[in-house]
Amino acid sequence: MNAVDIEVLRSAIDWQDRGYRVTLGTVVRTWGSAPRPPGSLMVIRDDGQVAGSLSGGCIEDDLIGRVARGELAARLPQLTTYGASAEEAQRFGLPCGGTVQVVLEPLSAQSRLRELLAAIEGHRLVARRLDMTTGLAQLADAIDSDTLHFDGTVLVTVHGPRLRLLIIGGGQLSRYLAAMAVMLDYRVTVCEPREEYHEGWQAMEGVTLARAMPDDLVLAMNLDANSAVVALTHDPKLDDLALMEALRTPAFYVGALGSRRNNDSRRERLLQFEVSRDEMARLRGPVGLRLGGLTPPEIALSIMAEMTARRRGVDVTGSLADWSASAASCRAVAG
C-alpha cells in the first residue's frame, strides 16, 4: 500500500474523530484506459473536503456533489459507474472511453479503519471484507497472491505495508538512490556504521540513518516481500554481512554494486558463509539495468528501474539486464 492511500486512511480516521460524516470510495473495476487502478482510495467529508483520488480529477467533483446531496451511500455501501457510454466518458473526461466502477461506503465504527491502519503500520498484509448489504467490515491476514475481489455483494480489498528500501553505505551514490526511492514512495533506511559518512543524512526527508552493523540491521528490520536491499559500499566487511542475511529473507530485490569480477568473487565468499545456491541465484549483481549510465544519478536510475521492473513482475532477463559482455571496472565513489 502506498503512502497516498495510507494518508487517505489517516484522514478518514481523523475526520471521523472530529465528528464529520465521511464516505470512503474504492475503485473496484476499470475498462479501457482509466487514470487510477482498482484499489485506489478517496475519502469525502460531508463539507466537500477530500483526500486521495479515484480518477485523477475526472469524476471527483460529481461524486462530491452526489454524496453531499445524499444521492449515494447515504446509509449503506453503494456501487456507482462512470463512463458506461462514450457520451458519459467524454462528459467526465475519462481517457479513451474508459469506464470506472466505484464502491462508496459511509464510514462508521464498524468500518474498522483504525484497526486496518494499525495492521498496515505493523507490516501486516491484510484483507478487508466489506458486506455491501450491512456495511460491516471484517479483517483477516492475507497472502501475497490475494487481490481485490468484488462480486456485487462483497468487496475484498488487500492492504499491505509500504515499500521499504535498505541501502548499505552512505556514500554519494546512496544519496541519489535514496532520493529517487523516496519519490517512488519507499521508506528508506541507510545503514552506515562508519562515522565519517554520517554528516548530512539526518536532514534528508524520508530517510532514516542507522548506525548498526548491516547483518544486525537486516535481522532487526524483519524484511518482507515489500522490501529491497542494495549494497553499495564496495567493502566486503559491510556488504557481505548484509547480503548473507538479506538473501534469506522474502525481500523482492537484493542487489550489490560492483563489476562482474567483483560480484563473482562476492558469490564465492557468500557460499562459504552457508548461503545456498538457490539463495545466491536471487542476488542481482552487477546491480541495475545496463542503461549505459556512468554518473551516480544515472547509476541510481538504473537500480531503481530494475527494482521497479522486479516489483511489477516484468521480465528483466533480456539485454538491459545482461552484464555478460561488460568489461567495465569498478571504482569507489567518495561520499
Listed by start position, the domains of the chain span 3-159, 164-320
**Cα–Cα dist 231/188, whole Å:** 13
Lowest-pLDDT range, 94-98, 135-139, 230-234, 281-285?
94-98
Strand partners, 149: 156
State yes or no: pLDDT of 304 exceeds 90: yes
**Residue 305's pLDDT band (cuts 50, 70, 90):** very high
Confidence (pLDDT) at 116 = 94
State yes or no: pLDDT of 35 exceeds 80: no
Please give the average per-residue pLDDT across 143-153, as a whole number.
Answer: 85
Bigger pLDDT: 168 vs 144 = 168
> Residues 200-229: pLDDT tens digits?
676 677 788 888 898 899 998 888 888 999
Confidence (pLDDT) at 120 = 85
> Hey, is 240 helix, strand or coil?
helix
Confidence (pLDDT) at 206 = 77
> Residues 69-95: pLDDT tens digits?
888 888 999 999 887 555 554 555 555
Strand locations in 10-132 (E)? 22-31, 41-45, 50-52, 78-82, 99-106, 126-131
φ, ψ for residue 7 (rounded to 5)? -65, -30
Domain 164-320 fold is Rossmann fold (3.40.50)
> Residues 307-320: pLDDT tens digits?
999 888 887 776 66
Global model pTM greater than 0.75? no
Confidence (pLDDT) at 4 = 72
Closest CA to 83 of 65, 63, 53: 63
Please list, in sequence order, all residues whose beta carbon lies within 8 angstroms of the beta carbon of residue 270, skipping any fewer than 6 positions away: 240, 243, 244, 247, 280, 283
